[in-house]
């Protein structure tokens, strides 16, 4: 689009009068420039205000995920003729009861395990733990007897151990400091569940007409896909976690409960999750027993669980619409680890998958709908 337009007067382009450029300010162009500037201002302000809103963002996101998980249950109760508010109340009472029961029965076991685990870590001189692992490794892998390789392995193990201890402590502190979440999340989730449809409707209502159908389509599709993905992932993780706890308990691996939960959570990471999940169990088995038999047992158990997951559980539960290339998985996990440590690594793939679904739908919409600024 031209900013300036020449208006030749008297039909003669060479006359002095005609040489004067008449600048016609294009209203449309000015409008567009103002809009772009406004958009940039909004983006700039959002980035500037992000630290202020970040503490609100986390409970909002957690509440959104929980409401995505529980919405089908509330809908089902509403479908049998119950008032939506009452349906949300009933779901809250049931899940609140389950969580309280879980805390009452499982928390003592978990805290006992974490306590003994940290006592064990404190008692063990980190060097002696590393020595134990090294002895076991050199006994079964002869090449590690080479003094230079042994020194290198020892240094690496030392680094791994200290970072593991500090990161687990960070994780525990993060959980404790998230006390505010415990108060705000149920409150926000309640309203998301009760008024979710009206909130969605209000968002759509405030969209300009030219983007209306596009936004409507985008919101419904992403909502549906994300709901399915998150519900599927959490269900698979719970099943894998439960199976891991059962397997570790039968193999008499100490701290089976905490390690099983870690394995379930790590299962959300494609390709590497199962290895990450099995590592703590293998490390504990080496330190506690130092026998290859127990390690082999753990590897077989985890391999069986993975086989079951890949052949039976995931194909039934998780939709295959979210596919991530292995190389992308590595990069995303590394970036996640850099940003938020172990917690970041765990959340990296689900967050990336959610972003991927949203971007895919936005691209699809941009291709199929006519858009202009």
Partner 1 sequence: MPSSYWNNIFDKNGRNKPDLDLILKRVPFFSQLKKSELREFKRILHHRYYKKGEVLFFEDEPGVGMYVIETGKIGIYKNYDDASREELAILQSGEFLGEMALLDESPRSATAVALENSSVFGLFRPDLFNLIESKPRLGNKILLKLAQMLAERLRLSNNELQELKQQYESSVIIR
2, 14, 177, 209: which one binds partner 1 (CB under 8 A): 209
Q: Does 372 bind partner 1 (CB under 8 A)?
A: no
Nearer to partner 1, 43 or 371 (CB): 371
Buried b (16+ CB within 10 A) or exposed e, 219-251: bebbeebbbbbbbbbbbbbebbbebbbebbeeb
| Smallest distance from partner 1 to CB 207, Å | 8
| Smallest distance from partner 1 to CB 213, Å | 5
Q: Does 195 bind partner 1 (CB under 8 A)?
A: no
Q: Does 208 bind partner 1 (CB under 8 A)?
A: yes
Per the CB < 8 A criterion, the answer to whether 88 and 190 are in contact is yes
Q: Is 156 exposed, middle or buried (0-12, 13-18, 19+ CB in 10 A)?
A: exposed
206, 320, 323, 373: which one binds partner 1 (CB under 8 A): 206
Nearer to partner 1, 309 or 361 (CB): 361
210, 330, 355, 363: which one binds partner 1 (CB under 8 A): 210
Q: Pick left, alpha or beta for residue 252 (phi over 0 → left; psi -120 to 50 → alpha; otherwise beta).
A: left
Torsion sign across C-alpha atoms 46, 49, 51, 52: negative
**Among candidate residues 61, 51, 5, the one with its CA nearest the CA of residue 28:** 5
DSSP 124: S
Number of H helices, E strands in the chain: 12, 0
220, 249, 271, 366: which one binds partner 1 (CB under 8 A): 220
**Total of chain residues touching partner 1, rule CB under 8 A:** 20
Using CB under 8 A, which residues numbered 306 to 335 contact partner 1? none
Nearer to partner 1, 210 or 325 (CB): 210
| Smallest distance from partner 1 to CB 198, Å | 9
134, 154, 217, 289: which one binds partner 1 (CB under 8 A): 217
Using CB under 8 A, which residues numbered 223 to 242 contact partner 1? 224
Per the CB < 8 A criterion, the answer to whether 329 and 271 are in contact is yes
Q: Near partner 1 by CB under 8 A, which window of 11-19, 187-195, 230-238, 363-371?
A: 363-371
C-alpha 140: how far from chain center: 38
Quote the CA–CA distance of 162 and 118 in Å, as a whole number. Answer: 13
Q: Does 187 bind partner 1 (CB under 8 A)?
A: no
Count other Cβ atoms within 10 Å, centred on residue 319: 12
| Smallest distance from partner 1 to CB 64, Å | 18
Q: Near partner 1 by CB under 8 A, which window of 161-169, 201-209, 237-245, 300-308?
A: 201-209
Q: What is the DSSP string of 238-295?
A: HHHHHHHHHHHHHTT-TTHHHHHHHHHHHTTSTTTHHHHHHHHHHHHHHHHT--HHHH
| Smallest distance from partner 1 to CB 235, Å | 21
Q: Near partner 1 by CB under 8 A, which window of 203-211, 277-285, 331-339, 347-355?
A: 203-211
Quote the CA–CA distance of 314 and 20 in Å, as a whole number. Answer: 73
Quote the CA–CA distance of 106 and 103 in Å, as a whole number. Answer: 5
**Among candidate residues 351, 342, 344, the one with its CA nearest the CA of residue 276:** 342
Per the CB < 8 A criterion, the answer to whether 196 and 71 are in contact is yes
27, 205, 320, 323: which one binds partner 1 (CB under 8 A): 205
Per the CB < 8 A criterion, the answer to whether 290 and 310 are in contact is no
Q: Does 201 bind partner 1 (CB under 8 A)?
A: yes
Using CB under 8 A, which residues numbered 68 to 97 contact partner 1? 75, 78-79
| Smallest distance from partner 1 to CB 76, Å | 9
Nearer to partner 1, 92 or 211 (CB): 211
Nearer to partner 1, 51 or 208 (CB): 208
| Smallest distance from partner 1 to CB 72, Å | 10
Q: Does 213 bind partner 1 (CB under 8 A)?
A: yes
Binding site for partner 1 (CB under 8 A): 75, 78-79, 201, 204-210, 212-213, 216-217, 220, 224, 368-370
């Amino acid at each position: 689009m031209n900013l300036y337009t020449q208006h030749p007067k008297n039909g003669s382009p060479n006359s002095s009068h005609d040489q004067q450029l008449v600048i016609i300010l294009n209203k449309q162009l000015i409008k567009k420039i103002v809009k772009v500037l406004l958009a940039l201002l909004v983006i700039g302000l959002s980035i500037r205000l992000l630290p202020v809103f970040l503490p609100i963002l986390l409970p909002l996101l957690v509440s959104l995920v929980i409401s995505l998980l529980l919405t089908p249950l509330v809908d089902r109760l509403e479908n049998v003729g119950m008032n939506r508010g009452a349906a949300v109340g009933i779901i809250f009472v049931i899940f609140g009861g389950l969580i309280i029961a879980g805390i009452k029965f499982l928390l003592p076991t978990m805290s006992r395990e974490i306590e003994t685990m940290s006592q064990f870590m404190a008692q063990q001189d980190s060097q002696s733990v590393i020595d134990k692992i090294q002895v076991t490794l050199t006994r079964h892998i002869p090449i590690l007897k080479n003094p230079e390789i042994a020194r290198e392995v020892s240094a690496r193990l030392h680094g791994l151990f200290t970072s593991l201890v500090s990161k687990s402590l960070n994780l525990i502190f993060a959980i404790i400091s998230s006390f505010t979440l415990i108060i705000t999340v149920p409150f926000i989730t309640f309203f998301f569940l009760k008024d979710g449809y009206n909130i969605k409707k209000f968002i759509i209502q405030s969209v300009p007409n030219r983007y209306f159908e596009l936004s409507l389509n985008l919101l419904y599709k992403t909502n549906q896909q994300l709901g399915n993905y998150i519900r599927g992932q959490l269900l698979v993780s719970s099943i894998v976690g439960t199976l891991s706890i059962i397997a570790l308990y039968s193999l008499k691996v100490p701290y089976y409960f905490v390690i099983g939960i870690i394995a379930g959570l790590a299962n959300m990471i494609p390709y590497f999750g199962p290895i990450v999940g099995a590592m703590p169990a293998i490390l504990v088995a080496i330190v506690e027993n130092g026998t290859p038999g127990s390690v082999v047992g753990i590897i077989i158990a985890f391999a069986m669980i993975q086989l079951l997951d890949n052949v039976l559980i995931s194909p039934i539960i998780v939709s295959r619409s979210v596919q991530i290339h292995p190389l992308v998985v590595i990069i995303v996990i590394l970036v996640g680890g850099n940003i938020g440590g172990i917690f970041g690594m765990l959340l990296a793939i689900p967050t990336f998958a959610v972003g991927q679904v949203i971007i895919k739908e936005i691209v699809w919409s941009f291709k199929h709908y006519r858009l202009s600024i």
